[in-house]
Amino acid sequence: MFLIMLLLAACSSQKAEVPLEPAPRASAYIQISGSDTMVNLALAWAERYQQEHPDVRISVTGGGSGSGISALINGTVDIANASRAIKEEELQKAQQAGYNPQEFIVARDAIAIIVNPQNPVTQLTMQQISAIYRGEINNWKELGGEDRPIVRLSRETNSGTHVYFLETVVRLGNPKDKTIFSPDTLLLPSSEGIIAEVRDNPNAIGYDGLGYVVPEVKVIAIARGRGEPFVLPSTETVNNRSYPIARDLYMYTREQPKGVIKDYLDWIVSREAQEIVVRLGFVSLEQSGVSGKTAKLD
């Protein structure tokens, strides 16, 4: 028995000495931050890319387009996602820091105007939506609805969607107009938050990227002006330019990308990555005919 125990102990000791094969380590790490509109899309892209490139690790966080661009300028992320174009003052800050930001269009999106399904209103003009968010129209009966106060919902000010909506809808594209949202507008931190509030509040109106819209809310048809056709947002109406509230989605780098970042951005505009764009409810570059190449910003 003693000899048997010695033999078993020796075998066990030998087995313990066999080295385990180390887990593969990432040789490259990409940090991405910015647009909440794009965060689900960016996460889906990152997951697929990492499956095919196990040596690359990609971190994706939201926080808003403005936060992402600030992080890029501060040097804490490699790529900023943005649902609006970089502002002139942001570009100047980057250049003062010694950077030469590069812009890439990676998809397109429509902003849907949404209300509660109980609301009988089905269509609005751009001028009416502007008047609502300026605080000039305050009751649904002024728009053919019931005698109910309008509850205005918006994304927070660091959101690229907020900035785009303010400039394109509230100010109707007039760069000289300095109007801001009505002070009683409720600012919510996420696209999902706006969806939840509209779904639960029969008096609410909000706006959200088309990829976030769910059947529990009602999408309003929009006309550019009085007497013009009312159009619902869709891939088709974004592509034929008939829907008036559509935009490009961007990725920004500090410099002309190289190495793994360039490889990743090249993949983003590939057919494989753009199929994910379509699956998540956005409009692909192929569908829209928009080039994904870098734009000159200076």
CB 133 within 8 A of CB 181: yes
Instruction: Give the per-residue pLDDT at 186.
Output: 97
Instruction: Give the per-residue pLDDT at 211.
Output: 87
Q: What is the dihedral of CA 286, 69, 74, 189, to 10 degrees?
A: -130
pLDDT in tens, 206-248: 999 998 999 999 999 999 999 999 999 999 999 899 999 999 9
Instruction: Give the per-residue pLDDT at 292.
Output: 55
pLDDT in tens, 93-110: 999 999 999 999 999 999
Instruction: Give the per-residue pLDDT at 296.
Output: 47
Instruction: Give the per-residue pLDDT at 286.
Output: 82
Instruction: Give the per-residue pLDDT at 288.
Output: 62
Instruction: Give the per-residue pLDDT at 289.
Output: 60
Alpha-carbon distance of 42 to 60, in angstroms, equals 7
Instruction: Give the per-residue pLDDT at 246.
Output: 95
CB 57 within 8 A of CB 28: yes
110-239: CATH, from 3.40.190.10, 3.40.50.620, 3.30.470.20, 3.30.70.270: 3.40.190.10
**Per-domain boundaries in the chain:** 28-108+248-295, 110-239
Please report, in tens digits, the pLDDT of each residue of the chain (298 residues total): 544 444 444 444 443 333 444 445 567 999 999 999 999 999 999 999 999 999 999 999 999 999 999 999 999 999 999 999 999 999 999 999 999 999 999 999 999 999 999 999 999 999 999 999 999 999 999 999 999 999 999 999 989 999 999 999 999 999 999 999 999 999 999 999 999 999 999 999 999 999 899 999 999 999 999 999 999 999 999 989 999 999 999 999 999 999 999 999 999 999 999 999 999 999 999 876 655 554 445 5
Q: Which amino acid is at 128?
A: Q
Alpha-carbon distance of 111 to 283, in angstroms, equals 12
Instruction: Give the per-residue pLDDT at 297.
Output: 57
Same topology for domains 28-108+248-295 and 110-239, yes or no? Answer: yes
Instruction: Give the per-residue pLDDT at 14.
Output: 41
Provide the b/e sequence for 29-45 (b: ≥16 CB within 10 Å).
Answer: ebebbbbbbbbbbbbbb
Q: Which amino acid is at 153?
A: L
Instruction: Give the per-residue pLDDT at 267.
Output: 98
Q: Which CATH architecture has domain 28-108+248-295?
A: 3-Layer(aba) Sandwich (3.40)
Tokens for 195?
């969806």
Alpha-carbon distance of 251 to 233, in angstroms, equals 23
Q: Is 295 in a helix, a strand, or coil?
A: strand
